[in-house]
Structure 1
């Protein structure tokens, strides 16, 4: 029997069958995560989409708060010619030309991000587009990508991206990015140019092709990093089943942190200036149903909290391809668009054209949580099936987003706060329930207690109590300098809006802030830090009445390992393939006394890493903690670097695989270096 399509707005049976144990959610407003960019909530548009610029779609995108629209559509970017609105080898719908697209962008108050044709185009064609857009038409289009997924041009085996260049190597791509950037910025030096990278832990990250010295990311960053303004990555985790897909946003912090490390390491002095754009994202699982909406609500905020300046969902319209049933019983059309195409697979038809699918409402819910310029702050939960994100809104309100990934159980939620005191007023709660046809709002619960239904998204908006509010602005632009193994200096620009009594420098420690220093000036030196450890720091100003300002943006650094240790380790990732990697370690005794028998210990920085197997040592692992002890023939390490032990292991990864920051030999933290 074929499943019948859901009519627009049709209800789906409530799958909730119980109530889970109480969940504790903690929000720490003293732990700032940066502000929501105006480009943060993005979406892809494609020239094959005949509905791209119709008024009904424009209205829906405007209502959803879309701040960035990407054009002309994924891989079409490498076959599309803007002058005549053609894409040889592909279909271009009427009414999707560049000026029509810009009409939609302007109407909804968004910004465009445009894909300059690398695969079948030229730097001159791209420069002509910049001239037309920003000189002739005065659109002021700021963000320009050079190509789409250009590593998919067959160079590493898989071949879906058009590329007419004689060489398809990362070196050729990077060399051409320099030419594109030069030609395009000669027309308008204010534009921002983006180069294509791959997200760590996702193919072809770490793959070194025959004849190359390095993988795609290192090659492109080393050559073109000085000439671009941001990098572009895509993320389709494509887990098996809804439960896996809903756990995958947890991968993003580690993957983005590892990407930032690569940028800083290989892009030279310009590395810290490069932004990160996540210009395509979708779980790829149950795409027209509630699981994909829950994934989207969690993943958008996770990426923005970790420094991405735009997250662009794939896609506005895409069309159905297969029929299946989601865990909540809803029909999934395998349509990766947020709006229905109104077409059928066999006799099973989607809802009417432009009916919003659940991911559309997930994006719409983001604007209930925070608008551009609002400050994201740290939130945590003790229940893996409940994710939490929080935003301090410009008017002083605090909004908390909860996502229940359990299709069967509702959960009572106990809310706790640090750095913020909510009023006793009943909060406003926005809800997008399982397969709902709209977002609802009501005064519900209290600031301390809420209940979230199965497979739903809730945003609780709390007003401040009025006590302890400071007029001081957040300290600005914190930076770290003179970082050693045990100390670092933090500097910032002063708060305004009143008289500052002192500044507090705090470490983010889960959702608990740890005061590390106080200062009456705009810098402070932190002492007694742990070698080989990552720190995330915020600065807050205290006024004369003792009230704290909002937190600064976060600054992150990692202390070095001690330069005068009696041991040294070189750690090298020699190969990787998306879900696994090989690491080699060279262990040296640099002290004055011989070592007979040794134990090497370290911890994986990310939960996405695990130990698989090793060689030249007796290896064992417990969770993220790894131990290696000598075998008979390498037990003796002569003093003063007289010899070394070479060992290694194979690691598994489901996402990021950052190198351990500290490695110890017989309990001593070693001087650690990294090669690749």
Structure 2
């Protein structure tokens, strides 16, 4: 707090001036900043839902980009955005920009791909995939499995799944990802990990004590890791009938487990895992945080979701979990959603999920702890929504809402996935893989939106509001180096001109911005993104030189004004005085 107050005074005293004691004295008239005395910003308390994910928070320094002069829009407008530098909503957790990695998408040793991920700066990458963690044995040789793992697993209806199999951490084929190359990627990209251990093995294992065997396997991974990874999850979506832990063959089980999993059972097992993993961490001198799986909504009427999951888990788990995990795919499953339906989910669903998880903890009498959204994306399908410009705009809104709602951690699903020729475009990957006519690991539109969000969003979110339009959404921020910024989203189908005013902030000479929008292909769901007018050389993705594109620059004299393109975003930062 003290540093922020000192910083505000420094702003007002810049170049030998003194804090302005007279509210009638006009300072910097018409430049989009304050015209009188300013109120110093004050950081709010760290929310319980953020907790230790902010322990290593650091301030950000804005680096001015290369620029090209841009004329201000001349059209009049009634749309005004006001951002208040003194009203800090939250510090920004660097772990909100994470992603997931899939073991079946290659070894991630290509220099261009590694460079793109480094530029993206996800800060945290979750492995070894979602449901694949159920069958993942980190220490096994290629294509191996433990002797006490059944030949095949069961389908939700109890029949044998002849196509089921297992995964190992030591597959070195080009199409797979070895555990060693996962660790290598983290190091190359200056990224930390979040690892999901195999909980399902505690269910389908055929040994005398499958829970102990699975917990020991997880603990051995912690020992092998030797402190490289701080964040760990026990299981993935364990409440779902698509997971290997959902139904087991009771005739092969030796510790009396039910055929169908319950939240209560998972909670009991979680405690065994947590104790074993913490003992392992102590053995190697590491400190770890362990997350437990909750369900993110009250969708107990869905037959694929175990009814009463959260109360069952929380009734058993006590204080053993360090954080709680939810997933959110925002739109309805396999719905051919239109663009505005997708965009409107970002604000509503982010808050609903946080409120529901907090409420579940409160109802159970459990302490509020950090919330991690370790998977998020959209389920919309049928019109190539997942690989479109709209997916990028939605990603911007999700990031803004996650900061506003004070999540501690989030990881988008996923860096790369797979191309289904029967359902082209139903692919969550941030990078292409297997797409006809497109080089593997070509960045898709969402990559560019997420890249520029981090580049132009500061270390603190400050309050902002929009008047004159329900189609324009704003997310404002401040940098520790003194600059103020705002991200503007236009959900409408027409361009919008917007005035921006910063309260409690003395604006400097210029403002810098990037404008991102889709192309004219594929109706609402363009597969392209244009950055300040520069686009891809082919039919998909964005400009290869994205890191070197000059920002638009305009003088703050006369006010800060920009045109936000239809279904596009402007990322803007204003100079400090």
Query: 1:78: Cα distance to partner?
Result: 1.0
Query: Does 2:204 match 1:123?
Result: no
Q: Equivalences for 1:40-439 in 2 at 5 Å?
A: 40-84=96-140, 89=165, 94=173, 96-121=177-202, 122-134=214-226, 138-139=227-228, 141-152=229-240, 154=241, 159-163=242-246, 164=248, 166-167=257-258, 168-189=261-282, 190-202=287-299, 215-239=308-332, 240-251=337-348, 252-268=350-366, 271-272=367-368, 274-285=369-380, 286-321=385-420, 333-344=425-436, 349=437, 351-370=438-457, 374-382=459-467, 383-406=469-492, 408-423=493-508, 425-434=509-518, 435-436=529-530, 437-438=542-543, 439=546
Alpha-carbon distance between aligned partners in 2 of 1:123 and 1:96, rounded to the nearest angstrom:
24
Query: 1:160: Cα distance to partner?
Result: 3.9
Instruction: Please list every run of at least 4 consecutive aligned residues from structure 1 whose deviation after the TM superposition is greater than 4 angstroms.
Output: 85-88, 90-93, 201-209
Q: Equivalences for 1:11-50 in 2 at 5 Å?
A: 22-50=78-106
Q: How many residues align?
A: 415
Alpha-carbon distance between aligned partners in 1 of 2:503 and 2:302, rounded to the nearest angstrom:
39
Q: Which deviates the most, 310-319 or 21-30?
A: 21-30
Contact 1:67 1:111 in 2 (8 A): yes
Alpha-carbon distance between aligned partners in 2 of 1:204 and 1:294, rounded to the nearest angstrom:
31
| Structure that is richer in strand per residue | 1
Alpha-carbon distance between aligned partners in 2 of 1:161 and 1:357, rounded to the nearest angstrom:
31
Structure 2 residue ranges without an equivalent (≥5)? 1-74, 146-163, 203-213, 519-528, 531-541
Aligned to 1:609: none
Secondary structure at the counterpart of residue 510 of structure 2: coil
Secondary structure at the counterpart of residue 261 of structure 1: helix
Contact 2:197 2:233 in 1 (8 A): yes
Taking a change above 3 Å as real, the CA distance of residues 83 and 343 of structure 1, as seen in their structure-2 partners, is same
Alpha-carbon distance between aligned partners in 2 of 1:282 and 1:384, rounded to the nearest angstrom:
24
Structure 1 residue ranges without an equivalent (≥5)? 1-18, 325-331, 466-676
TM-score between the two structures when normalised by the length of structure 2: 0.67
TM-score between the two structures when normalised by the length of structure 1: 0.58
Alpha-carbon distance between aligned partners in 2 of 1:59 and 1:204, rounded to the nearest angstrom:
45
Contact 2:387 2:427 in 1 (8 A): yes
Q: Which has the larger radius of gyration?
A: 1
Secondary structure at the counterpart of residue 439 of structure 2: coil
Contact 1:320 1:343 in 2 (8 A): yes
Cα displacement string for residues 411-440 of structure 1 (whole angstroms, at most 9, x for unaligned residues): 0001123332322x1201022222221344
Secondary structure at the counterpart of residue 317 of structure 1: coil
Q: Equivalences for 1:389-538 in 2 at 5 Å?
A: 389-406=475-492, 408-423=493-508, 425-434=509-518, 435-436=529-530, 437-438=542-543, 439=546, 440=549, 441-444=551-554, 446=556, 448-465=560-577
| Structure that is richer in helix per residue | 2
Secondary structure at the counterpart of residue 193 of structure 1: strand
